[in-house]
Amino acid sequence: MVRFEEVVSEALAAKRRLLAGFDFAFGYPAGTAERITGKADWQSLWRAIASSVQDGPDNTNNRFDVAARWNQHHFPDGARFWGRPRALLLDGLTDTKPPAPSGPPLAFRLSEHHAKGAKSVWQLAYAGSVGSQSLLGIARLSTFLDQHPSRKEIAVWPFETGFCTGFTQAVVLAEIYPSLFDVALSDGDVKDAAQVRRVAQEFARFDVTGMLGELFARPLMLNDAQVDAALKEEGWVLGIGHENLTVLAAEEPTQETPVSRLDYIRDPAEIYRQSFETIRREADLARFPESMQPLVIRLIHACGMVDVADDIVFSDGAFEAGAKALADGAKIFCDAEMVRHGIISRLLPAGNEVVCLLNDVRVRPLAAWNRTTRSAAQVDLWASQMEGAVIAIGNAPTALFRLLELLDQGAVKPALILGFPVGFVGAAESKAELAANSRGVPCIAVQGRRGGSAMASAAVNALAGGLGTNG
């Protein structure tokens, strides 16, 4: 903190602008602040953390005791904080992950659903955890801000700035995620140090190219309610939702771009923004829960027909079931290679394995023996592995029919069925059967003949990353 305070003082004295990035969560899942402080705002929670956490100059602290006490006092419906040294026994704090909460505050913030491999802020110990750093870091920053003589010149993004680029404060504090960029390690490199250097280098390059300000703007994938949650309590990770800028900043033009007489939008982020804005304006999304709307928007975007929203059917909690399965590392089984290739791997929250067995050497003889299609035959090969998985069918009605047959025969159940087979023979019928009786499995489907690989992969991308751009 001493060095940080010096850097801030130097920037203010020299009238320079300063962006200070911190690799710990600035917020907790929505509902946390009200549970702990009675007020649903970030600053009340920061001050509560600062008044409770004791962190000495020798790095001795009481973070585990605070977490245990808060679990007992504020979360009677189930502990949120978890993780501790196994030799440290505390009532109220386990060394293993508790069951996922069924209501707010949930296990992850919105931003963590969009940050590949992000850990929950509730996890205080073990590899990759950030919860301890968050408690200690927030305590330090809160005290720093409350005591700083030039507090009005310092802003915490996005809480005090909003998602905009027009703020005037000289010093901005922001949460960063070092894994936002891929890093190639050399011999002797420490991964964490290399990642932090890469983030600093990329943000500096964005600054030089005039694109840094765009990182502070509203992420495209967030609806109004999600923006409100991020600004009041959860915060956001700088750069998440603007991954397309990584590509733009890295591109070095090798020759002058020729002047074109054709007038069209070239900026990928603007294309996405206008597309999603048009869909929200023209499609009737009122019957869909907020959690489902990004998926519906992606489906419409994939096919270009806003009226497809009228044909979408879904079971209660289907989106949440699929998103949780992906966050927990579930496999994704696809009936066609086009579905597999349409899934954006960088959005997958746990590096999930995406499987299509259509071209497996076992499939053709199995299909011949059963007198069925290869698409249906491969489903038999999924059967032993699909417990808790996400099934994405975007091509063959026979694959969906076979899946339902296997479930009738007692096969293990996946976490979610995405039913988007397309065509004139069996497509409408297979999806009607799924909608009428999903065999106890949450499902999302589009009724009728429409569907296709693009829609199936779009549904997976929405479960994994909302309306994040393809990059």
Which residue, chain included where needed, has tokens 């091509």? 395
Catalytic residue among 73, 148, 301, 341: 301
pLDDT at residue 260 in the model: 58
Question: DSSP of 121-151, one letter per residue?
Answer: TTB-SSTT--HHHHHHHHHHHHHHHHH-TTG
- In angstroms, rounded to a whole number, what is the distance separating the alpha carbons of residues 440 and 315? 10
Identify the burial level of 417 via C-beta atoms within 10 angstroms of its C-beta, where 0-12 means exposed, 13-18 middle and 19 or more buried: buried
Residues of the chain with CATH 3.40.50.10230: 277-465
pLDDT at residue 102 in the model: 86
On whether the CB atoms of residues 158 and 217 are closer than 8 A, the answer is: no
Please indicate whether residue 301 is annotated as part of the active site. Answer: yes
pLDDT at residue 252 in the model: 45
Query: From the CB of residue 301, how many other CB atoms can be counted at a distance below 10 Å?
Result: 20
pLDDT at residue 158 in the model: 97
First-to-last alpha carbon distance for the chain, in angstroms, is 36
Question: Which one of 3.80.30.20, 3.40.50.150, 3.40.50.10230, 3.30.470.10 gives the CATH number of domain 277-465?
Answer: 3.40.50.10230
Each residue's pLDDT expressed in tens, for the chain with a length of 471 residues: 889 999 999 999 999 999 999 999 999 999 999 999 999 999 999 999 999 999 998 889 999 999 999 999 999 999 999 999 989 999 999 999 999 898 899 999 999 888 878 899 999 998 888 999 999 999 999 999 999 999 999 999 999 999 987 788 999 999 998 888 777 777 777 888 888 888 888 888 888 777 888 889 888 778 888 999 999 999 999 988 876 665 554 544 444 445 556 888 877 778 888 999 999 999 999 999 999 999 999 999 999 999 999 999 999 999 999 999 999 999 999 999 999 999 988 889 888 999 999 999 999 999 999 999 999 999 999 999 999 999 999 999 999 999 999 999 999 999 999 999 999 999 999 999 999 999 999 999 999 999 999 999 999 999 998 665 444
Token digits of residue 120: 């929950």
- Amino acid sitting at position 110: L
pLDDT at residue 265 in the model: 84
- In angstroms, rounded to a whole number, what is the distance separating the alpha carbons of residues 100 and 79? 9
pLDDT at residue 467 in the model: 64
Single pTM value for the model: 0.58
- Cα three-residue angle 168-172-176, rounded to 5 degrees: 140
Whether a cis peptide bond, with omega within 30° of 0, leads into 98 is no
pLDDT at residue 210 in the model: 77
- Amino acid sitting at position 248: L
Crossing angle for the helix pair 63-74 and 131-147, nearest 10 degrees?
Answer: 100
pLDDT at residue 249 in the model: 47
- In angstroms, rounded to a whole number, what is the distance separating the alpha carbons of residues 321 and 104? 16
- In angstroms, rounded to a whole number, what is the distance separating the alpha carbons of residues 44 and 233? 10
